[in-house]
Amino acid sequence: MKVELITYTPDADKLVAAAAKLCYAKSDIDTLMDKLTPEKVESFLKLLGDLGHESPIEHASFTFGIEGVSRTLLAQLTRHRIASFSVQSQRYVDKSGFEYITPPEIAAIPEAKAIYEETMANDAKAYDSLREILIKKHTETFMSDGMTAEAAKKAAEKKANEDARFVLPNSCDTRIIMTMNTRSLYNFFRLRCCNRAQWEIRKLATEMLRLCRSAAPLLFAGAGPACYKGACSEGGMSCGKAKEVRERFKNL
């Protein structure tokens, strides 16, 4: 897995503090940034946290580049609706020789790993065979419609991808660019940094949080799983390790 913070709102901490100042102080736009010292910025962000007033934090957004993750993760990720996603298309991109993600629990058991790798090899072989058959058929059809051989082959390859991709596994790798505002990220981290989250998206969320804290330390100081700054939200399904979790995210 590779995660990069591609770009983010400059001076995100200060921008959010300015939005908070507008809400709670008699300032106009021209003087809004005046006297916003680091101490004042920290004070306004603490005020927002104490009040649970999260709308000002929506003004700061963060864009991540993500690769080496599975389509399984993608299905979970896109449930977070207040975000923008650009995803590598299996329709336009030839996935011959695709890379795949192996769950750690499978990788740890030689017998399970062997079965898994054999399945991935069979899936790759099936994809290539289907694609070859479809390309041949579509090329002939396009040429009979008057296309040149070169144009027909190019169009046939794209059309073949559309149907051959149906045999690709959930473990097939993908690449994503994702943008979220800070409020959406808070929610994402509360849910996905939790020990109860699935291992792959938890790994992603934890790395994203580390990058966010580096870029805007005050803004994300309290971000993390629900139990990091409050009570566990999992009820009877709690992992029971809140103390350990708090320590880990304190030192992230």
Helix (H, G, I), strand (E, B) or coil at 64: strand
Q: Which of 192, 202, 210, 213 is an active site residue?
A: 192
Q: Which residues of 26-60 are buried (b: 16+ CB within 10 A; e: fewer)?
A: ebeeeeeeeebeeeebeebbebbbeeeeeebbebb
Strands of the sheet containing 84-87, edge to edge, are 2-8, 61-70, 173-181, 84-87
Of the candidates 94, 24, 89, 93, which has an alpha carbon nearest to the alpha carbon of residue 55? 24
Query: Max CA-CA distance within the chain?
Result: 74
Cβ neighbours of residue 63 under 8 Å, at least 6 residues apart?
A: 5, 6, 7, 8, 177, 178, 179
* Distance, CA of 100 to CA of 168 (rounded, Å): 10
Active site residue 131: no
Helix (H, G, I), strand (E, B) or coil at 233: coil
Q: How far is CA 205 from the centre of its chain?
A: 7
Q: Which pair of tokens denotes residue 196? A: 């109860």
Asked whether 64 and 3 are in contact (CB, 8 A), the reply is yes
Known catalytic residues are 192
